[in-house]
Structure 1
Amino acid sequence: MDPNEFDDFLADDDAPDQVVDTRADGRLLRVPLGRIAPNLVNPRTDFGTEDQLEDFGRSLKRRQIQAVPVVTRRAYLDLWPDHKDQIGNVDFVIVSGERRYRAANAVELPALECVINDGYAESRKTFLDAVVSENIDRQNFDAIEEANAVEVLVEAFGSARSVAEHYERVDGWVSQRRVLLRLAPEVQELVRRQHMPLEPARKLGKLVKDHQWDAAAQLQWWEQEQRDRAAKVAAKKAARAAARQAPPPQAVPAAPVFTAVKPAPETAVAEAAVREVAPAQPRELPDTAAAPTETRPVLPEPRDQDQVPKPTPWVYSGDPAKPLPSDVEQPARVRQLPTHDWEQLADIVIAELPEDALHSLTEKLLEAVGANSPREQSA
Structure 2
Amino acid sequence: MAMDPNEFDDFISGDDDASPVVDTRADGRLLRVPLGRISPNLVNPRDDFGTRDKLEDFGRSLRRRQIQAVAVVTRRAYLDLWPEHKDQIGNVDFVIVSGERRFRAAETVSLPALECVINDGYAESRKTFLDAVVSENIDRQNFDAIEEANAVEALVEAFGSARSVAEHYERVDGWVSQRRVLLRLAPEVQELVRRQHMPLEPARKLGKLVKDHQWDAAAQLSWWEQEQKERAAKAAEKKAAKAAARRSQAAPQADTAAPTFTAVKSVPETVAPQAASVRPGALPGTVAASAETHPVVVPEPRDQDQTPKPTPWAPSGDQTPKPTPWVPSGSITASGVEKTDTAASGAGAPPAAEQRARVRQLPTHDWQQLADIVIAELPQEALRNLAGRILMSVGAGGPQEQSA
Fold shared by both chains (TM-score > 0.5): yes
2:394 is matched with: none
Query: Are 1:248 and 2:251 matched, yes or no?
Result: yes
Query: Are 1:123 and 2:112 matched, yes or no?
Result: no
Deviation of 1:6 after TM superposition, in Å, equals: 1.9
SS in structure 2 at match of 1:220: helix
1:172 is matched with: 174
In 1, Cα distance between equivalents of 2:10 and 2:18: 11
Residue 91 of structure 2, aligned match among 78, 89, 101: 89
1:15 is matched with: 19
Please give the per-residue CA displacement for 1:20-41, whole angstroms capped at 9, x wherever unaligned: 4433332100000000000000
In 2, Cα distance between equivalents of 1:139 and 1:165: 22
Letter in 1 for 2:19: A
Query: Are 1:144 and 2:138 matched, yes or no?
Result: no
The number of aligned residues is 249
Letter in 1 for 2:94: F
1:232 is matched with: 234
In 1, Cα distance between equivalents of 2:142 and 2:125: 24
In 1, Cα distance between equivalents of 2:24 and 2:90: 28
Alignment of 1:313-352 (within 5 A): none
Please give the per-residue CA displacement for 1:284-319, whole angstroms capped at 9, x wherever unaligned: xxxxxxxxxxxxxxxxxxxxxxxxxxxxxxxxxxxx
2:210 is matched with: 208
Deviation of 1:239 after TM superposition, in Å, equals: 1.8
Alignment of 1:1-379 (within 5 A): 1-9=3-11, 10-11=13-14, 13-16=17-20, 20-246=22-248, 247-249=250-252, 250=255
Please give the per-residue CA displacement for 1:127-168, whole angstroms capped at 9, x wherever unaligned: 000000110133442000000000000000000000000000
Letter in 1 for 2:134: V
SS in structure 1 at match of 2:139: helix
SS in structure 2 at match of 1:94: strand
Q: Which has the higher contact order (CA 8 A, sep 6+)?
A: 1
SS in structure 2 at match of 1:136: coil
In 2, Cα distance between equivalents of 1:235 and 1:21: 63
In 2, Cα distance between equivalents of 1:75 and 1:151: 23
SS in structure 1 at match of 2:71: strand
In 1, Cα distance between equivalents of 2:66 and 2:205: 43
In 2, Cα distance between equivalents of 1:188 and 1:126: 28
SS in structure 2 at match of 1:58: helix
Structure 1: unaligned runs, 5 residues or longer: 252-379
TM-score, structure 2 normalization? 0.60
Letter in 2 for 1:174: V
Please give the per-residue CA displacement for 1:164-221, whole angstroms capped at 9, x wherever unaligned: 0000000000000000000000000000110000000000000000000000000000
In 1, Cα distance between equivalents of 2:26 and 2:90: 22
2:343 is matched with: none
Structure 2: unaligned runs, 5 residues or longer: 257-404
In 2, Cα distance between equivalents of 1:111 and 1:124: 28
TM-score, structure 1 normalization? 0.64
